[in-house]
Amino acid sequence: MPDIRNIVILTGAGISAESGIDTFRGGGGLWEQHRVEDVATPEAFERDPNLVLRFYDMRRAAIQEKLPNPAHDALARLDRAWNGDLLIVTQNVDDLHERAGASRVLHMHGEHLNAWCTYCDERSRWTGPLADRPPCPRCGARALRPDVVWFGEMPYRMEEIYAAMRTAHLFVSIGTSGAVYPAAGFVRDARSLGAQTLELNLERSQGSSWFDETRLGSASEVVPAWVEEVLAG
């Protein structure tokens, strides 16, 4: 791999699948028995806040029982060892990259383990339920919602992501279907900015033809193999 110093890695639900966390589009288009539109949009929250809060309470409790898999471990190893710039941009709202030991992680779709007060705008670490409407630790308002980006909302920290893409020599996409924008468009942006592009996925994503190279397989196998290759130079 010639002249690779700066790397941007995009991860999606597929990297956490082998940890036992459902992807979005598995299971016949249902996400844990719910249609995505019923639980992951601002309209859904307005229509039935109890359903949405209970759904996220369930997910928040579930992810705390899960463990990082060898793919998270391998990226954490790369993060620790890599001297160039590296940014793991994750669409995932679980904390498995961090629990594996990675630190250069950016959650563009928010985090399950954060609550956001829509009254005072404070974000707090949150591991318990929200459906019982606990008060915001800062202002006391009972206006907490999951700090996750729903469909129709703006992803977080896009300037930082594009700044990293502008200097990246390699863009790697892992376990994402290429269906959710703007993340699905990163490969085209990376290419036009001059980076090499690599896809690691169980099956080809919708934007697969945009990648210079695609390696198919489960994340727990293809990601550690790729990391060993990169670290071996």
Rule CB under 6 A: choose which of 10, 13, 113, 161 binds ligand NAD.
13
Place of tokens 């293809």: 222
The CB-of-151 to ligand NAD minimum distance in angstroms stands at 9
Judged by beta carbon, residue 26 or residue 140, the one nearer ligand NAD is 26
Confirm or reject binding of residue 18 to ligand NAD (CB under 6 A).
Answer: yes
Contacts of 63 (CB under 8 A, 6+ apart): 21, 94, 95, 96, 112, 113
Minimum CB distance to ligand NAD, residue 144 (Å): 19
* First and final C-alpha spacing in the chain: 7
For the question of residue 109 being annotated catalytic, the response is yes
Of 71 and 117, which has the nearer Cβ to ligand NAD?
A: 71
127 backbone dihedrals φ, ψ, rounded to 5°: -110, -15
Residue 53 is inside which H or E element, if any? helix 49-63
Per-residue x/- track, 26-45, ligand NAD (CB under 6 A): --------------------
176: contact with ligand NAD by CB under 6 A: yes
Which of 173, 177, 196, 197 is close enough to bind ligand NAD by CB under 6 A? 177
* 69 forms part of the interface with ligand NAD (CB under 6 A): no
Please give the residues from 104 up to 163 whose contact with ligand NAD meets the rule CB under 6 A: 109
SS3 29: helix
Cβ contact 92:18 at 8 Å? no
Find the largest Cα–Cα distance for the chain.
54
Q: Pick the catalytic residue from 72, 97, 107, 109.
A: 109
Instruction: Note whether 173 binds ligand NAD by CB under 6 A.
Output: no
- Would you count residue 16 as binding ligand NAD (CB under 6 A)? yes
Residue 141 tokens read as 């308002």
Q: Which of 6, 114, 196, 201 binds ligand NAD (CB under 6 A)?
A: 201
77 near 88, Cβ under 8 Å? no
Tokens, residue 61: 């409790």
How far is Cα 3 from Cα 118, in angstroms, rounded to an integer?
Answer: 45
Rounded Cα gap, residues 198 and 171, in angstroms? 6
Of 159, 169, 222, which is closest to residue 195 (Cα–Cα)? 169
From the list 116-124, 129-137, 139-147, 171-179, the region that binds ligand NAD by CB under 6 A is 171-179
**Residue 18: CB minimum distance to ligand NAD, A:** 5
Q: Please report whether residue 102 would count as binding ligand NAD according to CB under 6 A.
A: no
Q: Which are the catalytic amino acids?
A: 109
**Binding residues vs ligand NAD (CB under 6 A):** 12-14, 16-18, 21-25, 91-94, 109, 175-177, 179-180, 201-203, 205, 218-219
